Structure 1
Amino acid sequence: MEKKPIVELKNLSKTIGKKKIIDNLNLSLYPGQITGFLGPNGAGKTTTIRMMVGLMEPTSGDVIIEGISLAEDFEGGLSKVGVIVENPEMYKFISGYKNLLHFARMHEGVTKERIDEVINQVGMQNRIHEKVSTYSLGMRQRLGLAQALLHRPKFLILDEPTNGLDPAGIREFRMHLRDIAEKEGVSVFVSSHMLSEIELMCDRIAVIQNGKLIDIREMSEIQQSHYYIEALPLDAAESLLKEQGFAVESHKDGFIINAEKEQIPAIINLFSAKEQQLFAIQPYRKTLEDEFLEMTGGGQIAEAHTK
């Protein structure tokens, strides 16, 4: 049975003045899945997120969260959402626990037992009663994640969540997110310019450019088997591979093809039978950066940061 989406963006558009910032965006987000949201500078990522959390009203279209339209029931829809934007702001001169008590009062039904549960979930048991001013950035990120999870949201939005974290902190945060998505069936939506981190964190990516959704791709598809082949003469080698049904992509002094390991001996035998000079055939792993640049035509990766 196909999973029902937790979130649906339906024909979402935003026009400011005469400029169309977001153009008819349609996207479904599913439980237990982490989706990366990527795009060049000015592509419309921040505007999309603002509309998803009610900070900006769409010109047309709607955001549906667990069957609730934000246009029709704003508070009901947002009650299903948790948000972390870059470095979460906390009250620094009280403890992490008192911060969580304060945020818990903003939601109905958040018990002290639930607060203890999220503290354990993000691994803060030993430091939760210390002042936030003593926390590292990684600890503040964990506290922000605990705060976002207090009311058991089914949809978690993260905008540059690992910004400023060291490698150990990034890995730890990634593991917490994976655990939350898989064990609680939360749909996680991550916007980031750190492509290497998105590659490790996400199940799929959605790419936006000039306000339009240009691609949705499973990470398993990106990480599929590729091989680099170097052979001469180049034209003859390319023709030979294409005759066998391979999509051939030029790379350095040879080609990249999508092939399974079991096909490699037959390719070697084919080159030998045709008396082609085969110098190298080796696994080649495309990165998310490679794919992103292909999809966007080499658009800039890093998002501009403004305060």
Structure 2
Amino acid sequence: MEQKTIVRLQNLSKVIGTKKIIDDLTLDLYSGQITGFLGPNGAGKTTTIRMMTGLMKPTSGEVFIEGKPLSEDFEGSMSKVGVIVENPEMYKFMSGYKNLVHFARMNKNITKERIDEVIAQVGLQKRIHEKVSTYSLGMRQRLGLAQAILHKPKFLILDEPTNGLDPAGIREFRTYLKKIAVEDGVAIFVSSHLLAEIELMCDRIAVIQNGKLLSIQEVNEQQKSYYYIEASELEKVVDFFKHKEITMEAQGSGFIIPLNKEEVPALVAEMIANGLQIYSITPNRKTLEDQFLEITGGGQIAESRAK
């Protein structure tokens, strides 16, 4: 499916009192992609989401949804947006199906066929006519997802969508999100403090700190290959890597360097030819958590809902 820009945050800033909460943030979100949004507590994640949904006006800058400014066409723009914030609230005394029918009445042109379609899409066919009070948390999350996509949004915002889910529920929810992104061409924006889950779920990751966007990377770029090398005469090893302009990071009695598997034999042969004795060389992949802490300078990872 052709990738196109669904949402553009352009030079977005928010000042409250004398404090700049969001500082000139520019970010594009694409169809068919899931973008993770990470940052320490107080980085500005929730403020950004509030401006994207029209709950808070930016001090300057603009949010564009399919090319139209949110400030000029709020109703039209928001009709293309679906939102899930933590645990969706439902009428527990009603069945899942009746909840969807009730929500459908608030929107135009949602047919019975569309309701049945989203029920199948999130895998709730067997339990949809039972009361929500009998649902597990994972089932309620799936019902919330069905509600959020019922009107065929182009853009889906999720704020801590897997809070409280067990590992099986998280994996299941991730599968449905990826399916929706790819099959329907939806741009999905996920704010979460579960770094390992963001790494598995997302195609791109944006990192914010003190209201500034620090980094935007494809997940496959985040997953660069690294190796840990232990060798004799550390000073000579340092000189060797500097001469080859290889970035290295000291760790214990060795060094971590960026290196692809295919490059290992040639590097080992060259180090031996330069009189270096290699004690060990092992893969050392950096996790998203490692990179997050590097980017934010050790910024504290949220322990509860992102702010």
- State TM-score, norm by structure 2: 0.97
CA distance in 2, matches of 1:235, 1:219: 34
- Partners of 2:150 and 2:164 in 1: CA distance: 24
Percent of matched pairs sharing the same residue? 70
**Matched residue type, 1:22:** I
Is the contact between residue 40 and residue 209 of structure 1 (CA under 8 Å) also seen in structure 2? yes
What CA distance in whole angstroms lies between the structure 2 residues aligned with 1:305 and 1:227?
35
- Number of corresponding residues: 307
d(CA) in 2 for partners of 1:306 and 1:170? 18
RMSD over aligned Cα, in angstroms? 1.5
> For residues 121 and 14 of structure 1, what CA distance do their matches in structure 2 show?
38
Task: Say if 2:101 is the partner of 1:101.
Answer: yes
1:74 to partner: Cα distance:
0.4
| CA deviations over 1:6-48 (Å, ceiling 9, x no partner) | 0000111111111111111100000000000000000000000
Which residue matches 2:14? Answer: 14
Shift >3 Å, 4+ stretches: 303-307
What is the distance in 2 between the residues matched to 1:132 and 1:50? 28
**Alpha carbons 1:40, 1:303 under 8 Å: kept:** no
| Between 242-251 and 103-112, the greater mean CA deviation after superposition | 242-251
Unaligned 5+ segments in structure 1 are none
Shift of residue 4, structure 1, vs aligned partner: 2.8
1:152 matched to which residue of 2? 152
SS of alignment partner, residue 5 of structure 2: coil
State the partner residue of 2:43. 43
Change (3 A) 1:97 1:51: same
Say which is worse superposed, 221-230 or 138-147, in terms of deviation.
Answer: 221-230
Which residue identity does 1:289 align to in structure 2? E
User: Which residue in the other structure is 2:133 paired with?
Assistant: 133
Alignment of 1:1-307 (within 5 A): 3-302=3-302, 304-305=304-305
Q: 1:304 deviation in Å?
A: 4.2
Pair 14,303 (structure 1): closer, same or farther in 2 beyond 3 Å: farther
Deviation, structure 1 residue 134: 0.4
1:35-81 per-residue CA deviation (whole Å, 9 max, x = no partner) reads: 00000000000000001011111111111011121110000110110
Gaps of 5+ in 2: none
